[in-house]
Amino acid sequence: MVQVINTVDSSEVDKHDVAAVNKAENRPMYASRVKIHPKAGAGTFRRLKWILVFVLLGIYYISPWLRWDRPGNAPDQAILIDLANRRFYFFFIEIWPQEFYYIAGLLIMAGVGLFLVTSLVGRAWCGYACPQTVWTDLYIWVESKVEGDRNARIRLDAAPWSVSKISKRVIKMAIWLVIAIATGGFWVFYFADAPTLLHQLVTGQAAPVAYFTIAILTATTFTFAGFMREQVCTYMCPWPRIQGAMLDEESLIVTYNAWRGEPRHAGRKKAEAQGLKVGDCVDCNACVAVCPMGIDIRDGNQLECINCALCIDACDTVMDKIGRPKGLINYTTSSLYNANVAGKNEHWNASHLLRPRTAIYFTVWAAVGIAMLVTLINRSQLDVNVVPDRNPLFVQLSDGAIRNGYTVKILNQKQELRTFRLLIDGLKGATMEMVGEEGAPREVVEIAVEPDKLKAVKIYVSTADHDVLKHGKSEFTFRVEELNVTGEPETAMEQTVFHAPDNDEED
């Protein structure tokens, strides 16, 4: 992890560093939790966080109710993970099980995107978009509306049980429970038609797994956002440990500028009057009071810090009040911090974003995205798969011809009935018979496939061609062509092998 507080020339900053290091080293390995009562914040970053809470929860709760008109019997839910039929629907995109690479691609993009964001702006994911942060923000907001802000909550915690305390706790937990049930409830709507499932849930007709999933998610939301909060980030989530590998000297992270703030004085004016050297920090603890992780950013960069920047808002308000420039706590890089400690008045600019690490992350992220987009645009909605019979490999007919059997599977990924013709390329004299269909052997077989279905047919391929038979084993191709279409017909091909007597012992 990048250590922002470095050994520098300034003796005051040195003292601060030593204090921070000592404090970190003296921490016990195990300590009981001290409950945190974050103060309601206000400012640019708080507003940004509320916007993100609103947008992200809006997306989560509204998405299952969006409809998307699809032809045929396909579901009309815009976003649906249809486990029963093994399909994933996302507006106009339908992903089949064999196209799982799209999901894998999205996961790779999400992972590399997280690396990129972390290398640029530290734990922005943790501070703004992680579900644990978003739901905890919402729960703390409910708590502050019911029980009051930080000081009122501290007093209420310390107060003996009374009707007022019990009723506040009951109201708070009832609202938490409603949010938790909604969280679990809306999750299952992504896996079935939402209006139908809602009716089934209310009338007790839904599958037990739906109730079980809701119960699990309700319990985890209620516990994690209501009670465990910062402990989930600090002790349960592996990301704080991993993210250190993504940060470098140019990553923007929330930093207390000790070179400007130290030596801190609660009575700044008095200290100035006494001729003492004073920094900008007035030791008001406003930054500590708003911190949802319960840490003091002035102790340096810490594992617990989720980079939510609420301490920046709090300190900027204080700086405004005492007539000092904002930014005593700000987003800065380790290299800029060290430059300022050394007396160089340097400022961040966009060139800090472009570094080998970020260029590599962005290139990988963009390459995966472009590759997925190209394959998505050019994806075929027809697929063919051929499985040759293994036993027997071939049969000799009374006229001397050799016959092989194949199971040909044609996948129609469109929501409409389609007719295809099956042909053979590269096998001289070959004719086909489709099991279950009358008629003489022929060179073309027509097959109709239901919308959104896979059809398997048994095909016998025969040939008496001397050139083919003398080789023992010949490769050829089954070609499937779409019929009766106005535009460009889709085709699909699959190579396979024709076996004749000569070399069959090799197989």
- Using CB under 6 A, list all residues that contact ligand SF4: 254, 256, 261, 281-287, 290-291, 293, 295, 297-298, 305-311, 314-315, 318, 328-329
Minimum CB distance to ligand SF4, residue 305 (Å)? 3
Minimum CB distance to ligand SF4, residue 123 (Å)? 8
The DSSP result for 12-79, as a single string, is: HHHHHHHHHHHHHHT--SS-PPPPP-PPPP-SHHHHHHHHHHHHHHHHHHHGGG-B---STT---BSE
The residue among 83, 109, 108, 113 whose CA lies nearest residue 95 is: 83
Q: What is the rounded CA–CA span in Å between residue 77 and residue 139?
A: 30
Residue 254, strand partner residues: 331
Nearer to ligand SF4, 281 or 459 (CB): 281
Nearer to ligand SF4, 142 or 258 (CB): 258
Q: What is the rounded CA–CA span in Å between residue 128 and residue 254?
A: 13
Nearer to ligand SF4, 230 or 250 (CB): 230
The DSSP result for 291-348, as a single string, is: -TT---GGG-S-TT-----HHHHHHHHHHHHHT--S-SEEEE-HHHHHHHHTT-----
Angstrom CA distances, 402 to 303, 337, 432, 499, stand at 72, 81, 12, 8
Minimum CB distance to ligand SF4, residue 304 (Å)? 7
Minimum CB distance to ligand SF4, residue 370 (Å)? 35
Number of Cβ within a 10 Å radius of residue 172: 18
DSSP 392: S
Minimum CB distance to ligand SF4, residue 14 (Å)? 18
Nearer to ligand SF4, 128 or 176 (CB): 128
Minimum CB distance to ligand SF4, residue 257 (Å)? 9
Nearer to ligand SF4, 299 or 383 (CB): 299
Minimum CB distance to ligand SF4, residue 276 (Å)? 16
Nearer to ligand SF4, 249 or 283 (CB): 283
Tokens encoding 418: 């389609």
Nearer to ligand SF4, 226 or 261 (CB): 261
Nearer to ligand SF4, 322 or 397 (CB): 322
To the nearest 10°, the Cα dihedral for 203, 205, 210, 215? Answer: 50
∠ CA 415-456-441, nearest 5°, is 115
Nearer to ligand SF4, 109 or 318 (CB): 318
Minimum CB distance to ligand SF4, residue 329 (Å)? 5
In the numeric block, the tokens 């991993």 are attached to 242
Minimum CB distance to ligand SF4, residue 287 (Å)? 3
∠ CA 74-79-80, nearest 5°, is 60
